[in-house]
Amino acid sequence: MKRNIIILGIVIVILIGALCFYFFYLQNPGRQVLAQVNGEKITLKEFNRELEKVESPLKEMLKENPQQLLEGFIMNKILLQEAKKQGITPPVKTYKDTDKEALSPEEVLVGELVKKKFSTPPVVTKEEIKALYPMLKARLGGKSLEEVSPMIEQLIREMKQQEEMKQYMAELRTSAKVEIDQIRLQKIAFKPPESNTEEELKKALSGGKPLLVDFGANSCLPCRQLRPILKEVAKDFAGKAEILVIDIYKYQKLALEYKIQVLPTLVFFDNKGKEVFRQPGVMTKDQIAAKLKEFGAGT
C-alpha cells in the first residue's frame, strides 16, 4: 500500500512537471514559432510586439487576419537578409541627423538596400507623357500639356518605381525559403464581427421604424472606424430606429440589389421601408442622428 502511494506521488510529480514544461516553456510566446525565413525564426512574441504598435481599428483587423501582418514581417526579414548578404552597412551619422529622423538599425539597412537597388530613376519618355495627359487633363484644370508635363513625368516615374519595387520584392519572396505554421496562425486569429443577415434586413424594412443600413465590409478600414459610431447611434435611438450592418462580401446579392459601389455606403429608409437617402462614405454621429430624426426617428 505504502509502495503504491509512493508510485502515485511520483506519477503526480511527473505530470505536474510535464504541465509546467508545456505551459511555461513550450507555450511561451518567445518559443512559439509562427514562421521561418531562410532558417531565421519569427516568434509569436515578435509578432505580438509588432501588433501592439498598430492602432485600432486596424489592430483588430490584423488580429482577425494575422497572415496579413505576418507577410509584412516576412518581407521585412527577407529585405534585411538581402541587405546583409550584399554587405550593406548603415551610413555614418552626422550632427545633421535629428532624433525625429531616427530609424531602427534594421530600417536603415533596408532603406540603404532600396536606395542601392533603385539608384537610377526610371526613364520617362515624351510619348508616355502625351499618352497619359488626356486622362488627367480634366483633373488638372484643363492646363496645356506644356504646363503639366513635369508633373505628369514625376507621376509616371513614381508609378514605375512602385512597379519595379513590387517586382523586386516578389522575386525575393519567391526565391526565399519561407515556412509558415498555418495551424498556429489559425489558432491566434480572432473571429471577425458578425454581419446582419438578409432575413434581418427584410424584417427591419417591414418593422415600421426608420432604418439605417451600413453596407460595408470587415476588411474595410473606414467601415471599421464607423462601427463604434453606429453602436452609439443604435443605443441613442433604441426603440426609435433600427441600425444594421451588412457585409457586402458575405451578401453580394444585396450589394448588387442596392447598387453599392463605395464602401461604406449608408442607406436610410423611412418607417415604410422606402429608401429616402444614401451617403457613400462615412458620416459623423451628429449627421447620422440628424438624418434619422429627419426621417421620423425622433418622434
Q: Which helix (H) or strand (E) holds 266?
A: strand 265-269
Residue 223 a catalytic site member = yes
Structural element, H or E, at residue 128: helix 126-136
Grid coordinates standing for 41? Answer: 525564426
Choose the catalytic residue: 223, 226, 245, 297.
Answer: 223
Which phi and psi (to 5°) does residue 129 adopt?
-65, -45
- Hey, is 91 helix, strand or coil? coil
- The alpha carbon dihedral of 89, 94, 98, 99 has a sign of positive
Q: List beta partners, residue 278.
A: 267
Residue 20 appears among annotated catalytic residues? no
**Residue 247: exposure state from Cβ atoms within 10 A (0-12, 13-18, ≥19):** buried
Q: Are strands 211-216 and 242-247 parallel, antiparallel or unpaired?
A: parallel
User: If you write DSSP's letter for every residue of 38-70 in order, what string do you get?
Assistant: TTEEEEHHHHHHHHTTSPTTHHHHHHH-HHHHH
H-assigned helices in 66-212: 66-85, 105-117, 126-136, 145-175, 182-188, 198-205
Residue from 33, 185, 220, 276 carrying the catalytic annotation: 220
Residue 51 sits at φ, ψ, to 5 deg, of -65, -35
| Active-site amino acid positions | 220, 223
